[in-house]
Structure 1
């Protein structure tokens, strides 16, 4: 499997997205459900936003966490001090676990970066016991992330490569209304429910917003890294203008919506 999410440094990811996934994790756990004594699989654990929230939310027996990125796995292992948590590098589309090994399999902000997202859902279902739960949440890139749309709409105006970025970014898997729900049903899950979760992303200033993207983190940073010096200067200036929106630099707050879906293994 490949992933469309790129990461260079764990600290850069934390500024770009990790701090927001930490805010989303408790809402997702409430939706997915959790009970004392359970064995949970965290698919695409990143630096551990969901992993470490899980053991705070219930007295779990074990949490297995996997990620495709060696950078993420190394950082999550470095942060871990709980013997119940086991972290390893693995493929969401070929999970290295036996059938029915877990009570729940959860994926926080992962499936939209998995090209074969349906296969990942099938693998999550496979490793969960009958009666257990599979749940996932993904950002609504098309209609629910105004701070990120501000960037991709700005670069789309600047040139064809920006328009191509927008087309890719807004049409990733699992992000359209009902899409995750249909996939869960197609993969044999029952009692499937889809809802929306919302957090706010609060930035101190333009640099707080732009620095990790400018450093090449994430899919938007990957695009910025391809620009020549003239294009980069034009993009930096246009993004500052978009962020400031005619006001002086300073705090900005954006509401962000994620789709969440939950199903039961038959």
Structure 2
């Protein structure tokens, strides 16, 4: 298995996470750096949040984008109108490119869903030329995503299965402070730097927050799909209560932190 992310359809993913990854992408690009004429690899492109943001960041020569999910690949290809962008299905742990083929390899919100995350970093390093850059960013599920912790803490209070979900969700690969930096160093990258990036997730209502999870999108949605009707109703009511926090339903805003790391190929 090369990805643990659960995706049902592109529209559901956009409501769950795509709209937020679009906000994060320009900040990540600023951190990772790009320059005119470069050839860039987007590892785990999803529906194209980073891929298409890259076209607005510099006059790039070529952008190659890969994802393990055929749902994501199909949607990214459907959206693409730029001849510089080439999108294909591939494994982050076995990239189908020659050594040193790119100036930079970037991964936006991907490595924490790759069980062999270190191997994916090694592959990104392999396909980048000497002097080029490898960069990645992942959400801080444990301490930096209060909106999602709200759900996992709620379900953890309801059942043992909920507690198991919280353990998995909060301790995915690359999420602990310094973990991604250590991995970059272990894979032979130099001048490794890490920072925190922050965006706000702004929801119009509980339904805006909950609909993609209830529909089975992402790791939290995958958990919901395992519940029977009574447990689903009980969980929905409990999470709604947490979201509303004693006030009428309506807009809510959550600050969300991502770890970002970059290194140079010697």
Range class of TM-score, shorter chain? over 0.9
TM-score, length basis structure 1: 1.00
| 1:248 paired residue number | 248
| 1:259 paired residue number | 259
RMSD: 0.4
| 2:30 paired residue number | 30
Deviation at 1:2, TM superposition (A): 2.5
* Structure 1 Cα separation of the partners of residues 15 and 170 of structure 2: 22
Q: Report the count of equivalent residues.
A: 266
SS at 1:158 equivalent: coil
Question: Are the aligned partners of 2:2 and 2:93 in contact in 1 as well (CA < 8 Å)?
Answer: no
The answer to whether structure 1 residue 41 and structure 2 residue 41 are counterparts is yes
Unaligned runs of 5+ in 1: none
- CA offset digits 1:214-243 (Å, max 9, x no partner): 000000000000001111110010011000
Structure 1 segments of 4 or more deviating over 4 A?
A: none
SS at 2:123 equivalent: helix
SS at 1:254 equivalent: strand
Deviation at 1:251, TM superposition (A): 0.2
SS at 1:154 equivalent: helix
SS at 2:134 equivalent: strand
SS at 1:57 equivalent: coil
Deviation at 1:3, TM superposition (A): 1.1
SS at 1:4 equivalent: coil
- CA offset digits 1:82-114 (Å, max 9, x no partner): 000000000000000000000000000000000
* Structure 2 Cα separation of the partners of residues 179 and 52 of structure 1: 28
SS at 2:93 equivalent: coil
* Structure 1 Cα separation of the partners of residues 195 and 53 of structure 2: 20
Unaligned runs of 5+ in 2: none
TM-score, length basis structure 2: 1.00
SS at 2:241 equivalent: helix
Question: Are the aligned partners of 2:132 and 2:264 in contact in 1 as well (CA < 8 Å)?
Answer: yes
SS at 1:208 equivalent: helix
- CA offset digits 1:154-176 (Å, max 9, x no partner): 00000000000000001100000
